[in-house]
């Protein structure tokens, strides 16, 4: 299996160039469901240790159904197949450019939740105009197992987010405590049936810290579906967060704000209004290619499907 590894603001992406499973024909949404339902062992083998690493997201290249698109892609982590991945799309664009398959300028990429636009500014810098994002429900209160209540916004940015103020500083020394808190919040959201009209549950949690971060709007901790923290500021999370700020008129249209991750990497984020309750966010960040390799799957390997 031919793969290329990159990182976006510290968050790893593994692009699967060839050697992936044969998926069903049809829309990418249907192919993504096939991957989730029928190829779990493949996903585990690619991302779990010893081949993978914590936090890594894979980008499986597939043929686009829209001929205007440079490629189709399905993202997944060790826990779930994702609708969209912002840091992964930045990493994918840089990887394709490194392979000679993407030139400077604007290109379209097809994902299971819709077509996104990428602009390759240079070998490492990419802007992603994401799918329509929105604040779904503001000021949602959920009760944690310890009896405390947390109030936040339920929002969509390509994935489903619960966004709340951070009760402790968002900094690297607090990653364990922030992780435990975010897991508790997501569990409380599931228990309270906080979900989209179509029944999609909260899969990510963002804890926002606006204190003492220089020119950045905020420094944010993001919990991913696999219970790992996002080393980048999270592209879909930044989309959901700026949708909330737009709905509350805290950030103006086309105004650029900076969101920092828990380890200090940053995205520049802006939006355009669609004239309804949705916005079209744009995230600008950097990625760097780290490795180009062939993954080997030996039948005699006791950990061929990864370590659980």
Q: Torsion over CA of 28, 294, 236 and 151, rounded to 10 degrees?
A: 110
Question: 85, 189, 224, 244: which is the annotated catalytic residue?
Answer: 85
Question: 189, 224, 234, 244: which is the annotated catalytic residue?
Answer: 234
Distance CA 283, CA 134 (A): 15
Active site residue 234: yes
Distance CA 233, CA 258 (A): 9
Distance CA 286, CA 90 (A): 7
Question: Hey, is 72 helix, strand or coil?
Answer: strand
Residue written as token pair 């205007």: 68
Tell me whether strands 160-165 and 204-209 are parallel, antiparallel or unpaired.
parallel
Identify the DSSP state of 78.
S
172: tokens are 């690297």
N- to C-terminal Cα distance for the chain?
21
Distance CA 13, CA 56 (A): 6
Active site residue 85: yes
59: tokens are 């980008």
Question: Hey, is 118 helix, strand or coil?
Answer: strand
Q: What is the largest distance, in Å, between two alpha-carbon atoms of the chain?
A: 59
Catalytic residues: 85, 234
């Amino acid at each position: 299996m031919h793969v290329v590894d990159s990182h976006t603001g510290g968050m790893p992406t593994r692009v699967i160039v060839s050697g992936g499973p044969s998926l069903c024909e049809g829309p990418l949404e249907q192919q993504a469901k096939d991957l989730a339902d029928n190829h779990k062992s493949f996903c585990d083998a690619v991302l779990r240790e010893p081949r993978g690493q914590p936090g890594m997201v894979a980008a499986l290249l597939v043929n686009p159904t829209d001929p205007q698109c440079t490629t189709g892609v399905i993202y997944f982590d060790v826990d779930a197949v994702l609708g969209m991945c912002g840091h992964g799309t930045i990493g994918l664009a840089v990887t394709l450019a490194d392979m000679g398959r993407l030139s400077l300028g604007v290109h379209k990429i097809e994902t299971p939740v819709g077509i996104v636009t990428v602009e390759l500014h240079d070998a490492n810098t990419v802007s992603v105009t994401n799918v329509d994002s929105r604040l779904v429900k503001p000021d949602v209160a959920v009760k944690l197992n310890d009896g405390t209540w947390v109030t936040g916004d339920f929002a969509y940015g390509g994935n489903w987010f619960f966004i709340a103020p951070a009760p402790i500083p968002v900094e690297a020394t607090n990653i364990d405590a922030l992780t435990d808190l975010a897991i508790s919040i997501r569990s409380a959201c599931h228990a309270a049936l906080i979900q989209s009209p179509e029944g999609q549950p909260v899969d990510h949690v963002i804890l926002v810290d606006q204190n003492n971060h220089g020119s950045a709007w905020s420094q944010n901790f993001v919990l991913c579906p696999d219970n790992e923290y996002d080393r980048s500021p999270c592209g879909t999370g930044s989309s959901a967060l700026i949708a909330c700020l737009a709905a509350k008129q805290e950030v103006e249209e086309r105004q650029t704000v900076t969101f920092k991750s828990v380890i200090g990497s940053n995205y520049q984020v802006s939006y355009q209004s669609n004239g309804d309750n949705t916005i079209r966010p744009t995230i600008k960040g950097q990625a760097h290619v780290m490795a180009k390799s062939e993954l080997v799957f030996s039948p005699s390997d006791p950990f061929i499907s990864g370590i659980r």
